[in-house]
Chain A
């Protein structure tokens, strides 16, 4: 089972990102589970969402306490000391930021990749919504799910021009990172 924790701010589509990731897993033939950390937060407040992916039915319903990966949709959240709590040894963190990866990685003792997802989205779809670009990058980095699965998940959500732009976006985002950089050891499955 692979567990993900997505950090963002209200309005950035963190929950949608979780559902999209789970949807991609489903499209790839896995079981999945995605849910937000339920709260009464309003737009702008920090929010968290969780994703579990497995090849067996998932019964566990607790929040993800020991994620394999973190996705951070807003680099201002990096200041939160609890951000990486529970991150599994050997885990990794994908951050949406215009800063270079190295500058961010310097502050963490884990693998970090930074992607300017907001800018990519602004450019491709005309909206500063970073989630699909980040997911594409995540899939490229981990290699756990094919890009086609994400494309299929997007297709169940978007249509027409929006879909086309999003497909362009994820292709660009996937290409912006090193494919398979976070490929897990076979034994880790």
Chain B
């Protein structure tokens, strides 16, 4: 090193401050990139990373977005219609100017893929790749089959019904899920090489679990819930009692309802099936349809675990259509005139914590009242039909040990509604993916999948000052008077609307490449680079100069930059 000599008048050469490493001043904290989960992703039962595929849309690449989407969920055209979208409930944008219309954009992407024939991003499995048996071709089974193929396995589906689809076909009315949409998306999935579909193959009748276990590397059980749960009311029940699920199937098969359905109807339950049957009966001419539910309608003070478990949009439409709802109540007794029901006694209840801390339903004595009715429809849920599962079922459902659906029987996995605590198409799809991952690890070697324990980036972790106000795109709906039994009630988004909606995504927890850190660093300690940034962002920190002020983290809109304690 040459000796510094005093220049005339002590002038200094440009940019020589780089010799002075101000990173030495950083004493307590330094910035890091922390890729946290977006709340939508954390809330999605199907395991979609909505933030990731919205990023592709923001880049103007719908096909890439769809490919990112189907990395988790192969049926977006379907879930984009039937999902209760907890992602939107969780969306941080709700605190600004309304949650993103994730659900609608998903549907648009799904429809776009079908219309344009975008190929699923999967390779054909080797012919000698291990084979997996999947019982049930409902959403869970289809998802499991798809993910098996995606991961390099061959999948054989065994379906008792003459068509694939499970409850998508049997329990969701065309007004919510048009049949051509259903057929198109299922058809594309089932056409994937590596998937074989065996129809009219009922477990216990046509195949056995033991037989499948012998013939296949692994068995994934996705039978769904076909049996109505027993209805516990005191006293007699009418002879012609129809449970909601069967009533719905009959109506979709034959297009007719019992005569009594023209009068005053009470539906007892709180799920999507109850909601669907309420609306169909109302549209079919019922004088008055009242839903009795133990849960509560959405409201500012409604606890999450108390909220009625239906698609919010469906509830909204039901109320538009004149369905009445009595919340926090249950049917305790039927009042009969002969074999005909003329009234129901209902009683108020709430979920209250018990001695073990778990909540249970408590009926309040003295709140009983009687409603006159012409028909009562129990719709309190379904359970697994036990045929063929003797010894594997634990009561009405399967209760696997982990998220991947592993049952005690080696190589057997259970997914979807049959798990007893699922209840949505998206959850079944998510289960299918997880089970396929575990199966793939088992059959192809490799590490067993582990849970993604990254934190969730809530709205408090964002800097929302940087997002311009943009109103949520509203979709068109059929007016109440025009709603029938076939035409889809909810409209879709245009491409422009979908792209505009994508612009609303806050990119919670991920790098937006917005340049804020680069722009806001007083010390030029943020270097903009795509090549050198190995974490998917566009920036690296130059810790030689970072003084640890924390401005970048504070001004990062998405919470992608976090200050962590300086080590060493």
Q: Touching in the complex, A and B, CB below 8 A?
A: no
- A residues at B contact (CB < 8 Å): none
Q: Which residues does B use to contact A, with CB under 8 Å?
A: none
